Amino acid sequence: MKKIILGVWIGLNTAAAAFASDLVLWYDQPVGAAVSSLLTTNPGQPALGLGGGKPSSFISEALPIGNGRLGGLIAGGTAHERIVLNEDSLWTGDENPGGDYETMGAYQMLGELFVHLPGHEIVTDYRRDLDIGDALAHVRYSANGVNYSREYFCSHADGVLVVRLTADQPGSYSGSLEMKDSHGAPTVAAKNRLSAAGSLSNGLKYEAQLIAVHEGGSLAIHGSTLVFSNCNRLTLVVAAGTDYAMDPASHFRGADPHSRVLKQAERAASKKYDILKAAHQKDFHALFDRVSLDLGKSTAGQRSLPTDQRKRLAAATVDPQLEELLFQYGRYLLISCSRPGGLPANLQGLWNDSNRPPWHSDYHANINIQMNYWLAEPANLAECAEPLFDLVDSQLPAWRRATAAAKEFRTADGKQSRRGFAIRTSHNITGGMGWKWDNTANAWYGQHYWEHYAFSRDARFLARTAYPYLKETCEFWEDQLKTLPDGRLVVPNAWSPEHGPTEDGVSYSQEIVWDLFNNYVEAAEALGVDQSYREKIAAWRDRLATPGIGSWGQLLEWMTEKHDPKYPELDTPNDHHRHTSHLFAVHPGRQISMARTPELAAAARKTIAARGDTGDGREWSFAWRCAISARLQDGADAHRQLQQLFSDRNTCRNLFGLHPPMQIDGNFGATAGMCEMLLQSQDGEIHLLPALPAAWPAGRVTGLRARGNFIVDLEWNGGRLVSAAIQSPEKNACRVRYGDQRLDLKIKSGGTVHLNGNLQSD
HEC sequence for 572-622: CCCCCCCCCHHHCCCCCCCCCCCCCCHHHHHHHHHHHHHHCCCCCCCHHHH
pLDDT of 56: 52
pLDDT of 1: 30
Q: CA 721 → CA 341, 688, 697, 759, distances in Å?
A: 40, 8, 10, 9
Question: Collapsing DSSP states into helix, strand and coil, what is residue 739?
Answer: coil
CB atoms within 10 A of CB 220: 12
Helix (H) or strand (E) holding 756: strand 752-756
Q: What's the CA gap between 277 and 131, in Å, rounded?
A: 14
Q: What's the CA gap between 748 and 452, in Å, rounded?
A: 23
Amino acid identity for residue 425 in this structure: T
In this structure, the strands spanning 732-738 and 685-688 are parallel
pLDDT of 611: 87
Q: What's the CA gap between 539 and 468, in Å, rounded?
A: 20
Q: What's the CA gap between 648 and 653, in Å, rounded?
A: 8
Amino acid identity for residue 385 in this structure: A
Q: What's the CA gap between 89 and 403, in Å, rounded?
A: 25
What spatial distance separates the first Cα and last Cα of the chain, rounded to whole Å? 71
Q: What are phi and psi of 189, to 5 degrees?
A: -105, 135
pLDDT of 182: 97
Exposure string over 627-641, b if 16+ CB within 10 A, otherwise e: bbbbbbbbbebbbbb
Q: CA 150 → CA 75, 327, 417, 501, distances in Å?
A: 12, 27, 58, 54
pLDDT of 8: 32
Q: Which of 82, 78, 75 is nearest to 61 (CA)?
A: 75
The answer to whether the beta carbons of residues 19 and 135 sit under 8 Å apart is no
Q: DSSP H helical segments within 79-140, as ranges?
A: 101-104
Q: What is the CA radius of gyration of the chain?
A: 26
The burial class, CB within 10 Å (0-12 / 13-18 / 19+), for 572 is middle
Per DSSP, which regions of 613-684 are E strands? Answer: 679-682
Q: What's the CA gap between 252 and 93, in Å, rounded?
A: 12
pLDDT of 500: 80
Per DSSP, which regions of 182-327 are E strands? Answer: 187-190, 193-199, 205-215, 218-222, 225-231, 233-242, 292-294
* pTM greater than 0.85: yes
**Mean pLDDT of each 10-residue bin along the chain, 762 residues long:** 33 36 92 46 26 57 98 97 98 91 94 98 97 98 97 98 98 98 97 98 98 98 98 98 98 98 98 98 98 97 96 96 98 98 97 95 95 98 98 98 90 75 96 93 98 98 98 96 97 89 94 98 98 98 97 94 80 86 97 96 95 78 96 97 94 94 95 98 96 98 98 98 97 96 96 97 81
pLDDT of 40: 31
The answer to whether the beta carbons of residues 745 and 734 sit under 8 Å apart is yes
DSSP 642: H
pLDDT of 53: 31
Q: What's the CA gap between 147 and 169, in Å, rounded?
A: 8
Q: Which of 727, 647, 719 is nearest to 678 (CA)?
A: 719
CB atoms within 10 A of CB 460: 9
pLDDT of 7: 35
pLDDT of 211: 98
The answer to whether the beta carbons of residues 629 and 691 sit under 8 Å apart is yes
Q: CA 234 → CA 13, 70, 227, 472, 505, distances in Å?
A: 30, 21, 12, 54, 63
CB atoms within 10 A of CB 265: 24
pLDDT of 35: 40
Whats the size of the chain, residue-wise? 762
Q: What angle do CA 579, 704, 578 make, to 5 degrees?
A: 5
Q: What are phi and psi of 707, to 5 degrees?
A: -60, 140
